[in-house]
Structure 1
Amino acid sequence: MAPLRPVVRVLFDEAHSQAWSIRPEVAARMQPSHPADASYARAAALLRARRMDVAAHTDGPLAADALRDADVVVLAHPSEPKWEATTGVGSPLLDPDELEALHAFVAAGGGLVVLGESEQDKYGNNLDALLAPFGVAIAHDTVQDYERNLNSTPSWVRADIAPGARGAAGDLLAGVDEACFYRAGTLTTTNPEARVLARASASSSAPGAALALAVPHGAGRVVALADSDLFGDDCLGDLGHAALWANLVSWAAAAAYATPAPATPSPAAADPAWGRLREATDALRLLQEPDGSVDTAAHDAAGLHDLVEAMAGAVEALAPRFDHQAEGLSATVADLRAWARDGFGRPDFAASLERFRPDRVRRDGIEHLVVFPMYTQNGSRDTRFEALLVRVPWPEWLAELERDRYDNAKFVPVTLVDHTAGYDSECAVLFPETVSATGTVPNHFGGIFCDREAERFRRVVSAAADVVGLNLPPDAAALLASERLSLDSYVLWDLIHDRAHSRGDLPFDPFMIRQRMPYWMYSLEELRCDLTAFGEAVRLQGEGMAFARNVQYAILFDRIFRFPVSGTRVRNYDGLGGQLLFAYLHRHGFVHWTDNRLTVEWDRLAEGVAGLRAEVETLYREGIDRSKLAQWGAAHDLVARYVPAAAGSSWAQGARAYADVEDPRPYIDDVAPDEFPLSMFYTSLKQKLQPSLARSGAPAPAAVAA
């Protein structure tokens, strides 16, 4: 598969007589009989799979110029050649300028990973001078442990791992139950902010001594370990070493993840014609009635014509920038002028909607001009004119997955470049059915604003992780901090989810949201597609796409944290799907709410999600042989097994007393507005998350219900 663009840049120093190299050919030269004893190639590959660019610094000083493009710097055991086989380049001593540059690098937000050794003083390096400003030192020691060791080797000590941290900053020790330090020294610290990650056991020669430390400093972070062997090719696969390595580097890179993506200039947005279009559209939309018409008795007709003509003229001026939309923009201008000519009644933009085909030009970075009368989902249900500039993210890896695995010809991920006032809301979609048009609305595309989805995910889930004290792995913390990682996660999630609506054992029209059914049926359909996407992400991860784990995080967190507490409680079908997922995982022991902290059993989570997916798919498969009413009842029973129905529900098992008629839709009137109320857990969570639920500058959404 085409590679994903790296998000973090790791520089591995090999210019100071290091005893390790990320380059296999150098490691083979250093240790011809056993290159793995000098190689960090596997450690580098592990980081690259997690969207980190890993490069070796092979010559010259490690000064400001060399550090300029790095986010994390790794110094692994510099040594004089008389003690170790080394890279053979440079001195193990950092000169004063290098020390100053590295200290400034960390203070400005860089990450630094320093790996020392036993009998540290003999190797001729000055790592202590490097670590001193951070309040850390490597002691000249060799820890022995005759009780807690690996393979009955006393110098291979099994460390005591510290308890994991909680909250949005991430748990540095997620997935790390055990670690072995092979001929380790010890660490000391005078820094009150230093966190000891691993200690020598009580049975060791240095009881309780620190073996690994994590230290915040300025805007950056420092990690120090008293052994370098545990991440070498020979040992990376032992115990929890691979997880620990990935966690440490991800944690050190926190500032890089949190750095906003650089803005991409848009010539169309800078065009004065766009400013004129946005201004005229915002002025016109204030005059429209809820159905999109304008009352000409209340508003000056000449002024209305001027606004419409300003919009049409601006579209014509912008059209040369959108050659791929030539036919569609011509139809937009015609529809605008026809609407004005016909007296400003309910707009009919069917002709221009038919010709708006972003699905035909899915190229990375291409922009589209959108001008329609529409309502905004999760915003206003009134029809208003909107003008949008949108950009399509369509990287090669996504194009390849869509082409070869998840064919979805109508799927169009988009990001907002600029927009009129109606999109100052939580609206994150651009769907044909929202456009004001007569007759059958063409259904050529589905536009999803993955940047908006990603932003509200980061905002709400970060707050939730702190509120519930979540045991959050560092790569998940990076996802919550990173615009790029979260946006790409939503693009992939949306691709698979959208396609899943028309795949599987479906007893009904997969787009049943256009029909009238009890709202829990919509809940189960949307949840089914998310559980399918989760399962596919697990499969992709198993095939080597480590990034797919981010999709699993996004689905889980958005579903259990944001969906249930967003919007009103009137037929909130997305909220109910989240309630069901959490209740299932909690009931079956995949998540635990104990001591006011939420703990996810990460190594078993996929099993739990698969279990709920199996129950929903069984409901669907058996529904093929049921009547509509019986299927609605069976679906209610499935939800109610985990999320209790409201007291007095007419639809609860044992209370349903409906005749199985051909058209059971009148029974829907008996569904309670909040048929499945929030649990005490969610009632409390919603109150605590309230400040994070609304996007800054956006009005509260009218509803998320159908």
Structure 2
Amino acid sequence: MTEILVQVGVEGQVPSPTRVVEHPAWPVLKDAVERIRPWQSKDGSIDFDAEGAPSRDEADGAVRAVIGAVGELAPLLPHDRAYHEALAGDLRRWADGDFEVPDFLDSLLAFQPAAHREDGLQHLVVFPMYTQNGNPDRNLEAVVLRMVWPDWLAELERTRYDNPLFCGITFEDFTAGYDTNSAVLFPETIAVREAPERFTWGGIFCDREAARFRRVTEAAVNILGLELPEDVAALVHDQKRCEEAFVLWDMVHDRTHSHGDLPFDPFMIKQRQPFWMYGLEELRCDLTAFKEAVKLAGDGVPQARDVQVAVLFDRMFRFPVTGARVRNYDGLGGQLLFAYLHKHDVVRWTDNRLSIDWERAPQVTNQLCAEIETLYRDGIDRPKLVHWFAGYELVSTYLSPHPGSRWAKGPDALDLTQPPRKLVDDVLPDEFPLSMFYEALSKKLKNVIAETKGITADGAERVAA
């Protein structure tokens, strides 16, 4: 294993900064990573015969620069010493192996941020990985982050929402793969020779989520003429409150994937299913967070009301009109929530203005959550295909299917001699198109949503100013 030397300060020298991003080695590391990224293929390897490829000496020099910079920064992060030593070893082995498909399993196993959930704790993370909702290639990335773990959140996790793998995090700085819409750091995105027996952490950037929420919500409220209660308006203009809302929402959402009456693999990684089933699962987790927030509000938890607002507005305003319409399961969940609240007269679109019945919103939103929970509970006793049709029936009760849909015509329109996974091919890419309301909203919000690419808390505050 490559050893990292800890540098000791000398009398008379200027003390080293305590923030990684303020240390002179950080821009050196960032520059070296940015030089490496364009040389890499989709799988993370470097093809030296490709057009624009570096020489082996150039590639090796860039990797040496990364290792050297990590060595200079490591003393600021003693809690990550084992990881940074393993990282240097993985980088050197990648270079010695002629830059073939990278394998960073050793450093992944050594990185254990969930074991040190301390509010404000810094981490320097370097891995070859894709960034979810960002860069699909396994490029080398470097990101400096801080843990978000205030006492009130730690107490809720300890007493009510056990989630030992969850890490709330914020950005300090990052390379190009995170100058995207990605707001997560997940171990399964990292290039390794084999998947670990189990993953031990997962991180979500609540600062990006909060900043994006504020930008999109403010625009949507203005477009729709929505009058906000004073406390809700204050939330939209407060980055810290929004971050606290999202970190609590994320912690409860994340654990819900493995809690409740689950008729199938909760993460659905090993199963091919119609995308409305993915949409229902993600919405179930969000609405569970909403339901728990209603309970927490009754117990006097200050962040609980903010979680409810964040779930409603992010799901109703941003999700339905973000991304392509091809199997957009998150968009579908947002459409379903809005349609459900609209049909139950909680949201109203009258005289080109949106209004919300804030008193009834918690009750009716929890009612939708209960319908999805009933679907899941009944699904335990159903065959897979019957369960899929039951999910389709729930969604199509509130959203109109595409007029050309075969699934909408029922089982008689499908070749039921095929296995269920083959019938997924009969699902249209946009099985539940946008309503006229959302078509109009999409045209007015699309530029705002595009501008949130790569946003951080600093970007949100600059816009607010």
TM-score (norm 2): 0.91
Structure 1: how far apart are the matches of 2:406 and 2:275?
Answer: 14
Q: Which residue of 1 aligns with 2:280?
A: 524
Alignment of 1:668-687 (within 5 A): 668-687=424-443
Q: 1:355 aligns with which of 101, 110, 114?
A: 110
Structure 2 vs 1, CA of residues 276 and 478 (structure 1 numbering), >3 Å: closer, same or farther?
same
Q: 1:326 aligns with which of 81, 96, 102?
A: 81
What SS does the corresponding residue of 2:148 show, helix, strand or coil? coil
Report how many residues are paired: 435
What SS does the corresponding residue of 1:391 show, helix, strand or coil? strand
What SS does the corresponding residue of 2:401 show, helix, strand or coil? coil
1:499 partnered with 2:255: yes
1:571 partnered with 2:323: no
Deviation of the 1:290 alpha carbon: 1.4
Does the 8 Å CA contact 2:276/2:332 hold for their aligned counterparts?
yes
Q: Which residue of 1 aligns with 2:5?
A: none
Structure 2 vs 1, CA of residues 627 and 354 (structure 1 numbering), >3 Å: closer, same or farther?
same
1:276 partnered with 2:28: yes
What SS does the corresponding residue of 1:387 show, helix, strand or coil? strand
Deviation of the 1:695 alpha carbon: 3.3
Please tell me whether Structure 1 or Structure 2 has the larger radius of gyration of its CA atoms. 1
Q: Point out 4+ residue stretches in structure 1 off by more than 6 angstroms.
A: none
Deviation of the 1:426 alpha carbon: 1.1
Deviation of the 1:321 alpha carbon: 1.4
What SS does the corresponding residue of 2:188 show, helix, strand or coil? helix
What SS does the corresponding residue of 1:320 show, helix, strand or coil? helix
Deviation of the 1:585 alpha carbon: 0.6
What SS does the corresponding residue of 2:282 show, helix, strand or coil? helix
Does the 8 Å CA contact 1:637/1:653 hold for their aligned counterparts?
no
Q: 1:377 aligns with which of 114, 129, 132?
A: 132
Matched to 1:271, the amino acid is H
Structure 1: how far apart are the matches of 2:233 and 2:409?
Answer: 42
Structure 2 vs 1, CA of residues 656 and 680 (structure 1 numbering), >3 Å: closer, same or farther?
farther
Cα offsets for 1:127-149 (capped at 9, x unmatched)? xxxxxxxxxxxxxxxxxxxxxxx
Q: Which residue of 2 aligns with 1:387?
A: 142
Structure 2: how far apart are the matches of 1:698 and 1:348?
Answer: 27
What SS does the corresponding residue of 1:412 show, helix, strand or coil? strand
Does the 8 Å CA contact 2:407/2:414 hold for their aligned counterparts?
no
Does the 8 Å CA contact 2:406/2:414 hold for their aligned counterparts?
no
Structure 1: how far apart are the matches of 2:296 and 2:412?
Answer: 43
Structure 1: how far apart are the matches of 2:62 and 2:271?
Answer: 38
Deviation of the 1:698 alpha carbon: 4.4
Deviation of the 1:546 alpha carbon: 3.9
Structure 2 vs 1, CA of residues 542 and 625 (structure 1 numbering), >3 Å: closer, same or farther?
same
Cα offsets for 1:293-319 (capped at 9, x unmatched)? 111223211000000111111112211
Residue ranges of structure 2 left out of the alignment (5+ in a row): 1-16, 456-465
Matched to 1:630, the amino acid is V
Q: Which residue of 1 aligns with 2:458?
A: none
Does the 8 Å CA contact 2:83/2:110 hold for their aligned counterparts?
yes
Deviation of the 1:464 alpha carbon: 0.2
TM-score (norm 1): 0.60
Structure 2 vs 1, CA of residues 417 and 625 (structure 1 numbering), >3 Å: closer, same or farther?
same
What SS does the corresponding residue of 1:392 show, helix, strand or coil? strand
Does the 8 Å CA contact 1:520/1:636 hold for their aligned counterparts?
yes
What SS does the corresponding residue of 2:161 show, helix, strand or coil? coil
What SS does the corresponding residue of 1:631 show, helix, strand or coil? helix
What SS does the corresponding residue of 1:415 show, helix, strand or coil? strand
Does the 8 Å CA contact 1:296/1:344 hold for their aligned counterparts?
no
Structure 1: how far apart are the matches of 2:418 and 2:256?
Answer: 28
Matched to 1:525, the amino acid is E
Give the % identical residues: 54
Deviation of the 1:412 alpha carbon: 0.1
Structure 2: how far apart are the matches of 1:558 and 1:602?
Answer: 16
Does the 8 Å CA contact 2:286/2:311 hold for their aligned counterparts?
yes
Matched to 2:294, the amino acid is V
Structure 1: how far apart are the matches of 2:346 and 2:206?
Answer: 29
Matched to 1:682, the amino acid is Y
Q: Which residue of 2 aligns with 1:203?
A: none
Deviation of the 1:659 alpha carbon: 5.8
Structure 2 vs 1, CA of residues 373 and 269 (structure 1 numbering), >3 Å: closer, same or farther?
same
Structure 2 vs 1, CA of residues 360 and 660 (structure 1 numbering), >3 Å: closer, same or farther?
farther
Structure 2: how far apart are the matches of 1:605 and 1:314?
Answer: 52
Flag the structure with higher strand content: 1
Structure 1: how far apart are the matches of 2:359 and 2:262?
Answer: 31
Structure 2: how far apart are the matches of 1:652 and 1:629?
Answer: 14
Does the 8 Å CA contact 1:426/1:695 hold for their aligned counterparts?
no
Per mean C-alpha deviation after superposition, the further-off stretch among 317-326 and 673-682 is 317-326
1:364 partnered with 2:119: yes
Q: Which residue of 2 aligns with 1:409?
A: 164
Deviation of the 1:611 alpha carbon: 1.2
Structure 2: how far apart are the matches of 1:691 and 1:616?
Answer: 33
Structure 1: how far apart are the matches of 2:162 and 2:416?
Answer: 39
Select the structure with the greater relative contact order (CA < 8 A; seq sep ≥ 6): 2
Alignment of 1:479-558 (within 5 A): 479-558=235-314
Deviation of the 1:394 alpha carbon: 0.8
Structure 2 vs 1, CA of residues 366 and 668 (structure 1 numbering), >3 Å: closer, same or farther?
same
Q: Which residue of 2 aligns with 1:149?
A: none
Q: Which residue of 2 aligns with 1:691?
A: 447
Cα offsets for 1:292-350 (capped at 9, x unmatched)? 11112232110000001111111122112111111111111111111111111111111
Cα offsets for 1:533-557 (capped at 9, x unmatched)? 0011001111122431110000000
Q: 1:338 aligns with which of 88, 93, 102?
A: 93
What SS does the corresponding residue of 2:170 show, helix, strand or coil? strand
What SS does the corresponding residue of 1:373 show, helix, strand or coil? strand
Q: Which residue of 2 aligns with 1:419?
A: 174
